Amino acid sequence: MSEPIIAVDGVSKQVSDATGALTILHDIHFALQRGETAAIVGASGSGKSTLLGIVAGLDVPSAGKVRLGGRDLFSLDEDARAAWRAQQLGFVFQSFQLLGNRTALENVMLPLELAGRRDARAAAREMLERVGLGARLGHYPRLLSGGEQQRVGLARAFVMRPAVLLADEPTGSLDHATGLKVMDLMFELNQEVGTTLLMVTHDLGIAARCGRQLHIDAGRLRELSAATT
């Protein structure tokens, strides 16, 4: 078997507060192969988003290692880690994280421009058309519905054809019907691009659509039975 695209080995996270040390994650181990889909599920405060942030290299573990695309993330300095993240990862956020002073097209162009792509405008337009927003290219986020904003977020995440997509509660700000449509689109794009998907969600129905379900309870990880849908 080839090297996993994501390998988490013995990751723990402690923080200190007024009452002393608090352990958020306890000795987490898991690995994902290229093209796998996995959902991290658990109660609020269980450590789901902390784990996702560590996998992304946005947060630093107190112990353990994370390998992303064959690189030990935390052997890199912060600048090198950011550069590697830009090459490997796409992100989808609950709160969309769109730039309010940029149009839909400009938001999707941004990662392409940062990567020096000369075809940024054409590639961004094509991806927005793919997510059904060809008529909204010049609209600013405030003029888009929540579902439309999240589709812009999907277009921005997938336009670089990342090796890994990380999604943190991608339907958390949407009504149920809109959330289902967005998730259908996310899984379609994920299959088309061949991305490895790691998603945090509280929705067990969405989690069941992933090939694997990783459950966190009080910072400890266990894998549930494989998804059947």
What are the residue boundaries of the structural domains of the chain, listed by start? 35-58+78-223
pLDDT value for 225? 57
**What is the per-residue pLDDT across 146-166, written as a single tens digit (0 to 9) for each?**
999 999 999 999 999 999 999
CATH among 3.30.300.130, 3.40.50.300, 3.40.640.10, 1.10.8.100 for 35-58+78-223 = 3.40.50.300
CA distance 108 to 194: 19
Q: What is the pLDDT of residues 75-129, one digit of tens each?
A: 999 999 999 998 899 999 888 899 999 999 999 999 999 989 999 999 999 999 9
In 62-211, which ranges are E strands? 63-68, 71-72, 89-93, 164-168, 196-200
In terms of DSSP bridges, do strands 164-168 and 89-93 run parallel, antiparallel, or are they unpaired?
parallel
Residue 229 has pLDDT above 50, yes or no: no
Q: 46-83, pLDDT tens digit by residue?
A: 899 999 999 999 999 999 999 999 999 999 999 999 99
pLDDT of residue 172: 86
Summarised one tens digit per residue, pLDDT across range 184-201 is 999 999 999 999 999 999
Burial 130-168 (b: 16+ CB within 10 A, else e): bbebeebbebbbeebeebbbbbbbbbbbbbbebbbbbbb
Tokens for 51?
Answer: 């784990």
The pTM score is 0.89
Is beta strand 212-217 parallel, antiparallel or unpaired with respect to 71-72?
Answer: unpaired
Mean pLDDT, the chain, whole residue set: 92
pLDDT score for 228: 40
